[in-house]
Amino acid sequence: RAFNFNAGPAALPLEVLERAQAEFVDYRNTGMSIMEMSHRGAVYEAVHNEAQERLLSLLGNPSGYKVLFIQGGASTQFAMIPMNFLGQGHAANYVMTGSWADKALKEAKLIGETHVAASSEESKYMSLPKLADIQLSDNAAYLHLTSNETIEGTQFKDFPDTGAVPLICDMSSDILSRPFDLRRFGMVYAGAQKNLGPSGVAVVIVREDLITDSPKHLPTMLRYNTYLKNNSLYNTPPSFGIYMINEVLKWIEEKGGLAGVQDMNRKKAALIYDAIDNSGGFYRGCVNPDSRSDMNITFRLETEELEKEFVKASEKEGFVGLKGHRSVGGLRASVYNAVPYESCKALVDFMEHFKNNR
Ligand code: PLP
């Protein structure tokens, strides 16, 4: 297997892929693959419901929350959120932390009034705003936050208290990488393709009372209420993706739940950040240490030439995905839940070797 540091779609746990492979053609003696089955049948519905229950169970089963499966990735959520939650006379509040927060805000601007509640643009998004500096507008419909900026490599370690204003969080690149208190959020969402499963489905965990009604003028598929009323089975769901999510959730349970994966993730990230910090300036972390992400580790070398050489040499050694996002350049190691510690160890050995052979 490659040492896969892709930012997304990203590595899946090998055990999950192997289990899915074993039942790929004949799902539990049904004579069919799960992806060939009717989404109205008992076999698929059991998987669908199990995935929802497992997810809530990993989050401690707080009451009043529902799990929805929606197609169109996290990017469709950028639009659905203001469409469903931003009423006349209110402003959608956003914390501006980088590339993904910016995309979310741009969609809200298409729908109605917006307000930037805090921004770290001044630092070129290399450090996160302080929670105490987040200023909601008086007419805030909700506050939107990006817990982990995949491109810049920042991650909130804590979340603001927004009182009665629903806190909505894009957790696409760090969902289920650590425990968090769902009760502090009105809604949490993520494209599946980093920590949850294959691309093609976004997972939305939302307080039911926020979506018991949706604006009547919205198209059916863009109303959260449609997914709530029909248990995300209004139309044909991305059934294979949801099956894979259920398998990934089982794997997380086996790893000791969210505390277990957090422990692994901290060790992996510390290993790589230490290699950067102890390189005598050869490697330079991009992000202010207090805002660093445990999921996406961004770093640079002295010149772009040297970075190109690094990527080329790494690919020869079986590493994948270490080139930074095209919009910011540099280097990035994405170390989601499924990236084994051994891959991180191989990376720091490679970094050391590359440095010493310059
Ligand atoms: N939000 C974050 C933080 C992301 O990292 C990404 C994708 O990389 C997205 C949103 C967009 O997700 P999708 O491609 O599922 O629309």
What number is the ipTM of this complex?
0.99
pLDDT on residue 242: 98
Atom 4 of ligand 1, residue of closest alpha carbon: 172
Neighbours of 63 (CB within 10 A): 8
Is the CB of 296 inside a 6 Å radius of any atom of ligand 1?
A: no
Average pLDDT over every residue of 65-88: 98
- 106's CB contacts (< 8 A; 6+ apart) are 78
Atom 6 of ligand 1, residue of closest alpha carbon: 172
Residue 229 predicted with pLDDT over 90: yes
- Give the rounded percent of residues in the chain with a pLDDT score beyond 70: 100
Is the CB of 74 inside a 6 Å radius of any atom of ligand 1?
A: yes
pLDDT on residue 44: 98
Atom of ligand 1 nearest to the CA of 77: 16
DSSP tag of 292 = B
pLDDT on residue 313: 98
CA–centroid distance, 47 to ligand 1, in Å, is 25
Amino acid at position 146, single letter = T
3 state DSSP class of 255: coil
Beta strands at 296-300 and 331-334: parallel, antiparallel or unpaired: antiparallel
| 189 within 8 A of 171, measured Cβ to Cβ | yes
DSSP E strands in the chain: the ranges are 3-4, 65-70, 91-96, 114-119, 140-146, 148-149, 154-155, 167-170, 187-191, 202-207, 284-285, 296-300, 319-320, 331-334
Say how far apart CA 194 and CA 191 lie, in whole Å: 7
CA–centroid distance, 100 to ligand 1, in Å, is 7
pLDDT on residue 280: 97
Pocket test for ligand 1, best of 6, 71, 75 (most atoms within 8 A of CB): 75
φ, ψ of residue 338 in degrees (nearest 5)? -80, -10
pLDDT band at 181 (very low <50, low <70, confident <90, very high): very high
Confirm whether pTM is higher than 0.95. yes
- The sign one gets for the Cα dihedral 75, 200, 197, 8 is negative
Annotate 10-22 with three-state secondary structure: CCCCHHHHHHHHH
Residues 15-68: pLDDT tens digits?
A: 999 999 999 999 999 999 999 999 999 999 999 999 999 999 999 999 999 999
pLDDT on residue 318: 97
Neighbours of 343 (CB within 10 A): 21
Residue 358 predicted with pLDDT over 90: no
Is the CB of 150 inside a 6 Å radius of any atom of ligand 1?
A: yes
Pocket test for ligand 1, best of 81, 100, 295 (most atoms within 8 A of CB): 100
Residue 273 predicted with pLDDT over 90: yes
- Give the rounded percent of residues in the chain with a pLDDT score beyond 90: 100
| 10 within 8 A of 4, measured Cβ to Cβ | yes
Average pLDDT over every residue of 328-338: 97
